[in-house]
């Protein structure tokens, strides 16, 4: 499922011009992922969470279309910024042809064998 999602996300990025340059700057792509995490931190610090009840009311009552409701009640929330983080990560996986699903399985199996907090304080 993750690999298919990575392919779909990367295909969308291609269509929207994010890979028009001949040389892709991988460090820049990685830092954009970090940037999304920073934005998630700011949303968390400001207690900016998605108002799902309000979102659904706007849609159900026909007050806003999905795009308008998203921009009003989802955009720039912690949920939105975490989604951006995952989208950018999976886009990069799609570009680099990384089998992220298998890598996650392997890493989870490895982590199961590690000691409590991996032997660290935090």
Taking the C-alpha atoms of residue 116 and residue 55, their distance in angstroms, rounded to an integer, is: 40
Residue 101 resides in a domain: yes
Q: What is the pLDDT of residue 104?
A: 98
- pLDDT at position 74: 98
* Whole-number Å distance between alpha carbons of 101 and 90: 10
Tell me, yes or no, whether 52 lies in a domain: no
**Tally of domains in the chain:** 1
Asked whether residue 94 is assigned to any structural domain, the reply reads yes
Is the pLDDT at 21 greater than 90? The verdict is no
pLDDT tier, 119 (very low <50, low <70, confident <90, very high otherwise): confident
- 62-75 tens-digit pLDDT: 999 999 999 999 99
**C-alpha angle with apex 68: 63 to 73, nearest 5 degrees?**
95
Structural domain for 89, as ranges: 2-47+78-119
Proportion of the chain above pLDDT 70, given as a percent: 100
12 occurs within a structural domain: yes
In-domain check, residue 58: no
Q: Which two tokens stand for residue 93?
A: 């996986």
What is the total residue count of the chain? Answer: 122
Give how far the C-alpha of residue 41 lies from the chain's centroid of Cα atoms, to the nearest Å.
14
Residue 10 pLDDT exceeds 90: yes
- The CATH number covering residue 32 comes to 1.10.287.1080
Per residue in 80-118, pLDDT (tens digit) is 999 999 999 999 999 999 999 999 999 999 999 999 998
């Amino acid at each position: 499922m993750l690999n298919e999602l990575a392919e779909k996300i990367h295909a969308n990025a291609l269509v929207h011009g994010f890979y028009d340059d001949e040389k892709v700057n991988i460090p820049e792509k990685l830092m954009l992922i970090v940037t999304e995490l920073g934005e998630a931190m700011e949303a968390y610090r400001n207690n900016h969470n998605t108002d799902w009840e309000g979102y659904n009311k706007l849609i159900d009552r026909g007050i806003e279309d999905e795009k308008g409701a998203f921009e009003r009640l989802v955009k720039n929330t912690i949920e939105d910024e975490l989604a951006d983080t995952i989208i950018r990560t999976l886009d990069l996986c799609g570009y680099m042809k990384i089998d992220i699903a298998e890598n996650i399985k392997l890493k989870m199996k490895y982590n199961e064998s590690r000691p409590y907090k991996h032997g660290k304080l935090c």
